Structure formats: structure tokens, C-alpha cells
Chain A
Amino acid sequence: MADLLVVSDAGLYCPAGDFWIDPWRSVPRAVITHAHADHARSGCDRYLCAAPGKLVMRSRLGGTVPIDTLRYGESTTFNGVTVSLHPAGHVLGSAQVRVEHGGQVWVVSGDYKTAPDPTCAPFEPVRCDVFITESTFGLPIYRWPAPETIAAEIDAWWRANQAEGKTSVLLAYALGKAQRLAAMVDPSIGPIHGHGAVMKLVRAYRDSGVRLPPIDEVPARAKRVGQGRALVIAPPSVAGSGWLRVFGEVAVAQASGWMTVRGIRRRRGFGTGFVLSDHADFPGLVSAVEATGARRVLVTHGSSESFARFLRGRGLEADVLATRFTGEQPDRDDAGDPSDDTLGADGEHETEESVPDDGAAVDSALRGEQP
């Protein structure tokens, strides 16, 4: 039986249904798992995404391009191929794509996490024959602490900074992680401020019905903001930049899954790192794969080779699927990695609409693991 989904030049393609999932080039019909820029690119004729993510998608894609939606679990058909979307727990509106045709069921995970997140619907496993999974953190050293533990650590850090008269600057990806952090911390400690890139998505989240604590935008021409008391949530690109000057003396920390590894944390040069990711950790990946009941697993971006080999060792038919998704990457300083909570300057892509269309930026964004 022919594969229901294949990798074409433009991305993951369903020949029977004639649509693409998270294409990396302009195509007539794009089914989008979530709004991060390595999955949702502008320039397609028509988009389909999960209903809770529509406003976020619109804020990313801008303009008037048609965005169709499906409620989680609702299905539609393309050329007789049944397509439905199911919660992936990654960010608001993130979805796994279930594709059924000729008795075969394939599920594309997109990016996902199994840990709880107050700002989006939790991951739901979907039974299938073939599961296409990400593997950003597909090594067993990655095991996330409970989010409550991390929230308590961040609160304690914020309080300790206040005691020293420092403003707390928390670097996190503008879409998803920033809102999740705002919802996790204890807002009674002090005021919360957001970078413009963060605020744009905070508005999209609120308009979508997600409850977030009060967050103030940092005004463009301010001289002093929140000095010594506030928590500032900003994309990683602000690290070391003049933008931080208005906050006085600052303590800077980053929230990312990569903060697990000491060498990576040290290289980034921040004293503090909080282990918090919107991707599944290794046990999360393994349990997700098991819960699908799939006999065949195709592994995309991340530690794809190791994870596929590990799954083969457990008796599954597992292979690497070469895509251009980047996932979260530990080092992105100057190039445009658009993915979730990268440690680099990727946040800029979230702030500037034009960037994803820029040839060079897209090129670098397209570079992923190409096994």
C-alpha cells in the first residue's frame, strides 16, 4: 500500500488528498499544526488549522488569506481523504493531524508536549497505524521537572531579585512559552511587563479566551520601567541589547528545555536557567508513541536518529523522516531560527512580520537537521 504521506520538495504531502501539512513552500492547500514559523509559513493559498488557534494564526500570517478551521476532533475530507485535528498541547491551537484513507490512519504530531499547560488544551493520543513524531528532546537525559516546581523556582528567583533591587528578565519564545510563563508565575509578587513581540500574542491569546494575569507592554520611549520589582518577559534576542536599559539593574534568565545541560546553559552566559519546554521530554515522547498503538513510527526534527534507533530496539518499525522543521535548537544567535524557545535571536522573527518572507531568513529557517 502506498504511503499516505510523503516528503515532497514543498513539504509533507498527501498525494491522495492533494494537500500539504506544514509546507515550507507556497502551496495551494496547507494544513497547519501550529503557528510557529517553521511550521506555519506565509504565502499559501488556503490554510486549515484548529479553531482555538485561528487568532494566533491570523496574527502570524496577517492579511486576509483564507484560514479555515476545524474544532478538535471534527473532520473534513479532501478528495475522499478524511482529515481531523487533535490537541497537541504545544501552544494555543496546536494540533496533531489525523489523516485516514483506504483503511490506513496516519497521525502527524507537529510539535507537542505531554506536560500540563494552563494556556492550551492538553495533548490527546490518537490511535493510528503510522505516527510521525517530532524528537526535539529525544534523548533520555531530557526529563522535565513538574511545571509547579519550575513555577516555584521562578517565583523564588523573582523575589530574590527584588530583594537585591534587580529587575527580573525572563527570556522565552514570544509565542506560547511567554504566555505560559505569565500564567504560571505568582502575579502577586510584582508587576509583569512584556516585550512588544510578546504582547502581540498575549492579545491574540486573550482574544481567544485564554486567561492571563495583567501584563503591561513596555512603552517605546520609556526611561524607567519596573525597576527593581518587575518581571519582564521578552524574546531571547533582547539579551545584551539596549532594550534592557530601562529596567535598571537586571537579572536575566532563560526558560528552555536546553537548560537541562550545564554546558549549554554556561555557553549562553546566563547565570540562571529554568528547565521548561513546550516540547515533550523523552518519557513524554515514548509514552506518546506507545499510546498511538502505531506499528510504524517516522521520526522528524531533533534527535531523530537516536530516537528511531531506540524505538527499533523496542520492536517498532521506526525510521527517520527528513523534514525541514527545526524544533527547539540550543544555539541560535544571529540567524533566523523561528522555532519555539530557541535560545537565540529568533524572537525577532516573531516581532517582524516581514522577516519570514525574506529570502535569507527563510533559508536559514529552513535549515534543519537533514539526516
Chain B
Amino acid sequence: MINNVVRAGFACSAIALSISPAQAVDLRFDGFATFEVGQVLDDKELPKDLMGNRLPFRGFDDQINFQSNNVFALQARADLGGDLSATTQIIAKGATDYDAKFTWAYISYDLTPELTLSVGRFRIPYFIYSDTLDVGYSYHFIQPPVNTYEIGGFDATNGVKLEWQTDVGGWTSRATALTGRSDTELTLPMLSAPIKGKVPRLGLLTWSMNHDWFTARAIYAHSSLSIDFKEFLDSNVFNPIEASLAPFDFHFSPGAKKQVYVQEDKAKFYGVGFIIDPGPFFVIAEATTLNLYDSFMRNPNMGQYVSAGLRIGKFTPYITIENAESDFNKKGYQRLVGELPGALHSIQDQTGAFANAHDYLSATLRGLFNADLHEEDAYNLGLRYDFHPSAAFKIEYMMANDHMHNVKPSAIAAAVSVIF
């Protein structure tokens, strides 16, 4: 902890030092923080993973949780003159024991007043609120809609970004092109140790048009994705099946296994969204689809939501309705099942639950593909209260209908978000 603070301090002073005092430098510090508390209302309605562990809902479980979604961040920006600036954002999150991380660290250069080139580390703008995901003060809800915004930790990248902002007949057009690489460590309840995930080649384009109270936005991204599931899948799926079929000297082909592993698989991401915000009320909607080909993970993965609120003085009551749908890799499943020895059709299933051993193993394999499916409707009701010029208090009731696990988890949460 202390190390991190010191490290962060050094980083800031390093930036300050690298700027020669002979030059006029504008150094600007900003920060934001969110403190959140929440609790699941009925723990029997929490979904379970493959191993039977109860999964948290929106980061909460049946114990009052004061830490998991807390965020504290500092941003330093140095304007070096001549249209050059350096920015860094250091975020410490409760979920990772306030281990401070550089989410943003980049240098920007205004090529023209309309065109800005940035190099370094920044957030990937998959969604409307991606860029300010951690800045609770910047949006009305307690958390941006999870069914859409869950992107498995691949939210920041190291790369190059080109932003173009221009006026087109009364409209403001903003386009962003980004290329980079993104590595992350994933912690999954069913795995004892964190595993590595890699997005080695990310290409992304976003475009938004804004006129007065109306904004529309579209995004397309493509990449390849690798997640180190191989060991887990070998020891929990392939090895047991192949061992049980030892009399047949059976092995799945490497090509069939590749339909399950997440190894350099192609991924495509599409999204559209709009904001209507005349002031007294606002409506925001967003729909995104992630296609991840040739693995056991869901494909496509679709999320959408509509959120609307009324601004009544300092109070903003709001409602958010979310929906998530997904499907599985049918081609991969069929290939695996197709390779199972035909003789299994005439062998009795010893569990007695299936007509024969072939059906039993098919169902086992199907269970693997099903494990990642996600189908949910969610409803959130909340109130934001701007009790201070730089701080907002929010309270929200969150409820979901999880169709895959057949449960209806709900939680109540409150948060205070500040900027400084």
C-alpha cells in the first residue's frame, strides 16, 4: 500500500521534473473518488458457477460491502506549450485492495486545432461511458449498466489514438481511431489463480455526432483474443473425457480442441447509442454486440439498455432497463460431438440419466459451452442528489432476472461520488 502511494508520488514528481522550469508549464491536478456501499437482498437468489460457488451480483453479496466498488483517482496533466501535453491518471480500487494503477498515461499533440494524436496508455472507448467509467460523478447511475459494460477487464490499451473533432453544419462530429495492445489478468471464481488474457492487435473506430441536445454514436472494433484457459480445460474437460474413453484409444483432434480454447481467436465488436438531453430530462440508449469466434465462450454476446431520468432541482430520479442475450459456438460443439466414437451410441449411460453414453458425453460438452451463456433482464431504480457543487449522493435498487441460472438477484446500493 505505502509502496504504491510512494510510487505514485514518484511518478508525479517525475513528470514534474521532466518539465524544464525554463518553459512555461501549466500543471493541473484533478481527482475523483467514489465510495459505495451495497448489499444483496436475498443470497438464495445469487447465481452459482460450475463449482457451486455463489457469484456476487453487481459486486455485492449478502454481507454489507463497503469496499469492492470504491475508487480513488488522481490525474495530473502538464501542458508543455506548443500544443503538447502529458497526462496520467492513477486509480486505486477497493476491489484490488487499493493497489494503485496507471489507467491512463499518455502524451497528446494537437496536430491541428481539430486533430489530436495521443500515444501511451488509455481507456478503450467501447461504450458511451467507457472513458469515464470510474468517474461516478460524471453519470447518473451508480454503475453503468453491467449487462452492456462488462468487457472482462480488457478496458485499457497501450497504443496510438487519433481524435478528430470538427463542425459539420451545426453538428459537432467526433471521430476516434485507435490501435493498440491490451493485456490483462483475469480472476475467475472457478480458477484458483489469475490467468492471463491478451488482445494483441486491437483496431477501433468510433464516431459521434452531436447537435444541441442530441448525440448519436457508433463504434466498430476488431482484434484477436487469447485467454489462458488451456490448462483448466485440459484437466477439467478433455483429459477426463479422453481417459474415460481409453478403451477406444480416443483423442479429440487439435482442430476440435481449438474450437474450445481461447487462442488467437478473432473478435469483433459493434455498438450504437444515442443521448437525448434537453436538460429537464434525458434518455440514453446503447446496444452492443461482441462476436468471439471459435471458443467455448459465448458468441454473440449482446447487451442493450435504456436509461431515463428527470432533473428536478438537485434531484435526479432515474430508471434503467437492461437486457443481455447470448448464444454459443454451435460449430465447435458439433465438431467435438462429431468426433466422439460412434460405438458410444450402443453403450449404456451408467448414470441412467441419458439414453446412452454418447448422449451423456454430448450433454457434458454442451454444459461446457452453456457455462458462459448469459441471458438477463435487469431493472434499476435510483435517485441522484447533487448535495454539493462537487459531490453527488446516489441510491439505487438493482434487480435482475437471470434466465440462465433461473434466479432473481436484487441489491440495494448507495454511493457518494466527488470530483476535485
Q: Do A and B bind each other?
A: no
